[in-house]
């Protein structure tokens, strides 16, 4: 078995787990079934996810979406292993959440995934920090907030995009790994394109199609997410966290962080202290 699952917390109609997959290229994917609604935030690695809603390549920051009773497969043709924070909700639980969301009536996901979205970034950083610090009590509230935010985002998502080719998925997976390893240093579009043996223009187009954002947006989001997790999980100086994440000056970090997370780094950290 290549997947291990550790439950952090659970309650009436919900459960959250840390799911680590050690599959490598060449391992044969096997079919599984979602027992409940699944909202899984990818925190490491890339993999191909195929279900009746479609096929998508998932990278860090993306959200896997699953419906009860739906069969699915995960493949690692282009990379080894992944890690997710996986929330599971019963139909009754999600129905209660939707009742409080004006304009959202569909009980079920039409798409296989959500790309990394600014609206979800603060919640995902909080969830990863809670995982790293072992704060299981935080997940009851986080699960409810994530269920509502994902339901709203999914209701406005598009289902018309074509499935990317496996070649494009492979190229983007290689670029994602390069960004994850080198996010703390400058990375040019040309360097990323060279790493996948494509022209910068073609690389930019396929990356946006597969990952749901541009390479620079993904790089910036990776840096900000890592900084947000450290702000929640450590007492290191804000300037240290900013420079370690790859930002060259504090003012740029503060401006970018506020735009992505909705508040400045100091206020974001202070909320942790008050919880």
CATH of the domain at 103: 2.60.120.10
Going from the C-alpha of 45 to that of each of 173, 174, 235, 243, 245, the distances in angstroms are 8, 10, 27, 24, 18
Q: Is residue 174 part of a domain?
A: yes
- Given a cut of 90, whether residue 164 has pLDDT beyond it is no
Q: Is residue 161 part of a domain?
A: no
Q: How far apart are CA 82 and CA 173, in angstroms?
A: 12
62-117 residue pLDDT tens: 999 999 999 999 988 777 889 999 999 999 999 988 888 877 877 889 999 999 88
Angle between helices 250-261 and 215-233 (to 10 degrees): 90
Range of the domain at 242: 166-274
The pLDDT of residue 273: 58
Residue whose C-alpha is closest to residue 59's, from 256, 225, 205: 225
**Domain final residue pick, 155, 179, 209:** 155
The pLDDT of residue 119: 85
Q: In this predicted model, which residue has the larger pLDDT, 40 or 271?
A: 40
Q: What percent of the chain clears pLDDT 90, i.e. is strictly above it?
A: 52
The pLDDT of residue 29: 80
- Given a cut of 70, whether residue 198 has pLDDT beyond it is yes
Assess whether 131 and 184 both reside in one domain.
no
Q: How far apart are CA 275 and CA 272, in angstroms?
A: 5
When divided into structural domains, the chain yields a total of 2
Going from the C-alpha of 41 to that of each of 95, 119, 121, 159, the distances in angstroms are 21, 14, 10, 20
Q: Is residue 191 part of a domain?
A: yes
The pLDDT of residue 157: 62
Q: How far apart are CA 260 and CA 119, in angstroms?
A: 8
Q: Is residue 101 part of a domain?
A: yes
- 244 by Cβ neighbours in 10 Å (0-12 / 13-18 / 19+) ranks as middle
Q: Is residue 113 part of a domain?
A: yes
Q: How far apart are CA 46 and CA 174, in angstroms?
A: 9
Model confidence at 124, pLDDT cuts 50, 70, 90, reads very high
- Given a cut of 60, whether residue 1 has pLDDT beyond it is no
- Given a cut of 70, whether residue 161 has pLDDT beyond it is no
**Domain final residue pick, 155, 182, 198:** 155
Model confidence at 162, pLDDT cuts 50, 70, 90, reads low
- Strands in 37-45's sheet, in edge-to-edge order, are 3-11, 14-21, 82-89, 37-45, 63-66, 113-114
**Domain final residue pick, 122, 155, 188:** 155
Model confidence at 160, pLDDT cuts 50, 70, 90, reads very low
Residue whose C-alpha is closest to residue 124's, from 40, 181, 58, 59: 40
- Given a cut of 60, whether residue 159 has pLDDT beyond it is no
Q: Is residue 160 part of a domain?
A: no
Q: Please report, for the chain, how many H helices and E strands are present, in that order.
A: 10, 10
């Amino acid at each position: 078995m290549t997947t291990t699952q550790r439950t952090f917390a659970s309650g009436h109609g919900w459960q959250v787990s840390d799911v680590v997959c050690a599959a490598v290229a060449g391992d044969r994917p096997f079919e599984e079934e979602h027992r409940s609604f699944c909202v899984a935030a990818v925190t490491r690695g890339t993999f191909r996810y195929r279900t009746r809603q479609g096929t998508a390549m998932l990278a860090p920051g993306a959200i896997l979406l699953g419906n009860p009773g739906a069969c699915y497969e995960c493949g690692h043709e282009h990379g080894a292993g992944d890690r997710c924070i996986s929330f599971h909700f019963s139909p009754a639980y999600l129905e209660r959440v939707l009742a409080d969301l004006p304009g959202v009536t569909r009980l079920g996901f039409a798409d296989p995934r959500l790309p990394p979205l600014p609206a979800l970034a603060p919640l995902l950083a909080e969830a990863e920090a809670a995982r790293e610090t072992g704060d299981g009590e935080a997940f009851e509230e986080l699960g409810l907030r994530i269920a509502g935010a994902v339901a709203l985002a999914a209701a406005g998502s598009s289902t018309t995009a074509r499935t990317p080719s496996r070649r494009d998925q492979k190229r983007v997976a290689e670029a994602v790994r390069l960004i994850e390893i080198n996010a703390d240093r400058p990375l040019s579009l040309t360097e990323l394109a060279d790493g996948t043996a494509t022209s910068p223009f073609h690389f930019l187009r396929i990356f946006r199609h597969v990952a749901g954002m541009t390479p620079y947006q993904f790089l910036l989001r990776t840096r900000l997410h890592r900084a947000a997790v450290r702000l929640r999980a450590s007492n290191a100086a804000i300037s240290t966290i900013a420079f370690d994440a790859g930002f060259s000056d504090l003012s740029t970090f503060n401006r970018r962080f506020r735009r992505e997370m909705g508040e400045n780094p100091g206020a974001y950290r202070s909320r942790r202290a008050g919880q």
